[in-house]
Copies of this chain bind each other. A is one copy, B any other.
Amino acid sequence: MAESLRIDLNCDLGESFGRYELGQDAAMMAVISSANVACGFHAGDPDVMARTVGLAKENGVALGAHPGFPDLQGLGRRLMRMTPEEIAHAVCYQVGALAAFASVVGMKLSHVKPHGALYNLAAQDAPVARVIARVVFSYDPRLILVGLAGSELIRMGKEVGCQVAAEGFPDRAYLPNGQLMPRTQPGAVITEPEAVADNALRLVTEGIVINDENIRVDTLCLHGDNPHAVGNARAVRHRLESVGVEIAHLKHG
């Protein structure tokens, strides 16, 4: 394997709320290079955000905003029919809120990655993808927009002038068109650590095959909110490092 191979490992964190604990943030921080931090709409609250930003700083992990639909009860996984403009404003609000916590501890946001139903919508809906890209670019052109490899969000991000990063999911099955198989289908979620690690390595070396084309992947999403999460994440990191892949933050152009 060429020694120049590098990949970012990201995880959705900061999803606790008030007294409600979710995710294994401390353990995951030790494995990943980038954290996508919930911004109070679908998960997280100002106290959790402050704590999560602090954890990221301690662990040298890059910080990204993880904006979602305003639906705490549904954890942002339920589509809401908002207009593109409403979505752009909701993203702007959440990114700014997180950026303030970063700023207070002397950090800057590195990236923005939409969450849950908004992630899926932005992967397929060009007008939504465009407004998200535009608002992120207008807010700070140095921010990297993270989206599903081969998605509308990546396409629109490039068109708008954003730096983009294509994401792959080592613990998810893909459809031939590059979309994720819905969680409701059997086999959609892969739980066995070695299988996840195999997928991770393949995503790094080959990218994702979409309609017979290999699409490069810049960052791998490691889930942090299930019983297998930390084990899988460590298996991925170990496998990648064992073959010489460098785990590193997304690069700003």
Contact = CB atoms under 8 A, between A and B. Distances in A.
Contacts of A135: 104
Interface in A126-151: 135, 138-140
Nearest to A98: B96
Nearest to A95: B100
A44 to B, nearest CB: 10
B73 A17 contact: yes
Nearest to A48: B89
A49 B138 CA distance: 16
Interface-central residue, A95, A97, A117, by most chain B CB under 10 Å: A97
A104 B80 CA distance: 24
A96 B101 contact: yes
Contacts of A78: 80-82
Nearest to A65: B100
A92 B50 contact: yes
A101 B97 contact: no
Interface of A: 17-22, 40, 45-47, 49-50, 70-75, 78-82, 85-86, 89-90, 92-101, 103-104, 117, 135, 138-140
Closest A-B pairs by Cβ, 7 of them: A96-B100, A20-B20, A46-B89, A18-B73, A79-B81, A46-B93, A97-B97
